[in-house]
Amino acid sequence: MAKIEIKTDALNYECDEAFKALRTNLQFCGDDKKVIVFTSCTPDEGKSTVVHYLAMSLANTGKHVLLIDADLRKSVMAGNYRIPETLKGLSHFLSGQAPLEDVLCNTDIDTLNVILAGPMPPNPSELLAGETFHKLLGAARETYDYILIDCPPLGSVIDAAIAAKYSDGAVIVVEAETISYRFVQEIKEQLEKGGCPILGVVLNKVDIRGQKYYYNYYNKYGKYGKKYGYGKYTKYYGDSETKKK
């Protein structure tokens, strides 16, 4: 099993607190929510960064975490790690070109393992819908406390809905003041059609200067930039919450 080095920066105070809140809310969803899909409406909402830091946050509490980069079309996850040129990824495994031990990687955190996407295949949706991916998740359930799956934006391609069929829940990452309520509802409904419960939403790239109390509170701990957000957990979806929006 290869070892890859995490090269992302440490979070500042407010970002760290936001991920602790996200981590806690995820744990309150129950022990049966182990395999979780993350998607967004469009590219560049910060989804992959949110999943990466959440995986580290969970692993730092002693949870055994597997992070799967299932964005087989345009992955950015590899940029978070220093990896050898010969490392193979999920696309190699799902297409039968490499065994699991050649794509499963250790990291600097003892309880965090990662499977990166690998090169883009000609048939990403078909690979994720195949029995090999299903069996991979089934085997991972026996070893890990959490399996986090970073999928492409569901507003662009169907891959996240396919992976969600094998998952216990989904989380939608939404960029603040950019994505419309109607667009998020469409993504939510598409996931639910496959029988996947929505665990919640991460509101990302929030400008906390508009939240006077929190901005003043966090500034006690130092100076922070305009955007705090790699991610801030908001609320669970549900009929009552949806009607209030």
The string of DSSP letters for 63-110 reads: --EEEEE---SS--GGGGEE--TT---HHHHHTTSS-GGGT-EE-SST
Q: What is the number of other CB atoms lying within 10 angstroms of the CB of residue 7?
A: 11
Cα separation of 145 and 143, whole Å? 7
Q: Is 129 exposed, middle or buried (0-12, 13-18, 19+ CB in 10 A)?
A: middle
Residue 41 confidence (pLDDT) above 90: yes
Cβ atoms within 10 Å, residue 172 = 26
pLDDT at 237: 35
Q: Which residues pair with 2 in a beta bridge?
A: 105
Is it the case that residue 43 has pLDDT exceeding 90? yes
Does residue 208 carry a pLDDT above 70?
A: no
Q: What is the pLDDT of residue 207?
A: 76
- Angstrom CA distances, 207 to 13, 177, 180, 210, stand at 15, 9, 17, 6
pLDDT in tens, 68-111: 999 999 999 999 999 988 899 999 999 999 999 999 999 999 99
The residue type of 147 is I
Q: Look at residue 151 and tell me whether its pLDDT is greater than 80.
A: yes
- What's the CA gap between 204 and 196, in Å, rounded? 22
Look at residues 152, 146, 115 and name the one whose alpha carbon lies nearest to residue 132.
115
Q: Output the average pLDDT for the chain.
A: 86
Q: What is the 3-class SS of 201-229, one letter each residue?
A: EEEECCCHHHCHHHHHHHHHHCCCCCCCC
Strand bridging mode 105-106 / 169-175: unpaired
pLDDT of residue 240: 34
Q: What percent of the chain has pLDDT over 90?
A: 73
Task: State pTM to two decimals.
Answer: 0.85
If pLDDT is split at 50, 70 and 90, which confidence band does 66 have? very high
SS3 (DSSP) at 231? coil
* Cα gap 212→51, rounded to integer Å: 28
Q: Are 231 and 204 in contact (CB under 8 A)?
A: yes
Per-residue pLDDT at 124 exceeds 70: yes
